[in-house]
Structure 1
Amino acid sequence: MPGFVLLVKDRGDGDPTIRYGITVSKKVGNAVVRNRMKRRFRELARSVIAEQGVAGADHVLIGRQNGIERDWDTLGADLAKALGKLKPRTPAR
């Protein structure tokens, strides 16, 4: 199980800017643990979401309990895999 949940929502405003947000609940740990996780997620977002994110969408990383223990390369691979699963949706007819 990855150390995060990724939510992606198209803004629909025509602006191609990729935005991201990070949230880590108190259930994950104390302030030191949560801040460390947020720092790791910020760097992940800068490197992976900037390259593979959906243009014109908001991306939210929600930290999970085992996210702080995951290896950096594994977290990056998990995020790249999650972004790879996103496909442009065509309107239903």
Structure 2
Amino acid sequence: MLAKANRIVRGDDFRRIVRTGRRAGCELAVVHRTEPEAAVARFGFIVSKKVGNAVIRNRVKRRLSEIVRAELGDIETSDIVIRALPAAGTADFATLSAGIAPLLVRR
């Protein structure tokens, strides 16, 4: 799990980042990035019901969180929301990591 300082939890922050941020994507997810409101990088995850049932959605969120935690040192300070696409529900951890990690460090 990410530290509390590195999490986005307010709905207003999610809307601001998704609407005004720059996007980068792959077949597994779309990464929305915008200027930070805090001194540290903050992350939020959007996993809709199209990804799968509750068990699969929570698994995807945990995997995304672990990928972000592993890459945290290489990511520039910004507010980032990762929106999982339906293909993320069937992808294994290695495939998900290979698809998401390059999008996180992209400038």
Instruction: Give the TM interval when normalised to the shorter protein.
Output: 0.7 to 0.9
Q: Say if 2:76 and 2:105, in contact at 8 Å, map to a contact too.
A: no
Greater RCO between the two (CA within 8 Å, min separation 6)?
Answer: 1
> Per residue, is there more helix in 1 or in 2?
2
Match in the other structure for 2:34 = 9
Larger radius of gyration: 1
Identical counterparts, % of pairs: 34
State the TM-score, normalized to the length of structure 2: 0.66
Aligned-pair CA distance for 1:5? 0.8
Letter in 2 for 1:28: V
Match in the other structure for 1:89 = none
Q: How does 1:59-70 map to 2 (within 5 A)?
A: 59-70=80-91
Letter in 2 for 1:21: G
Match in the other structure for 1:25 = 48
Match in the other structure for 2:75 = 53
Q: What is the alpha-carbon root mean square deviation over aligned residues?
A: 1.7
The alignment covers a number of residue pairs equal to: 82
State the TM-score, normalized to the length of structure 1: 0.74
Q: Structure 1 unaligned runs (5+)?
A: 87-93
Q: Say if 1:52 and 1:80, in contact at 8 Å, map to a contact too.
A: no
Aligned-pair CA distance for 1:26? 1.3
Match in the other structure for 2:97 = 76
Q: Say if 2:45 and 2:61, in contact at 8 Å, map to a contact too.
A: yes
Q: Structure 2 unaligned runs (5+)?
A: 1-25
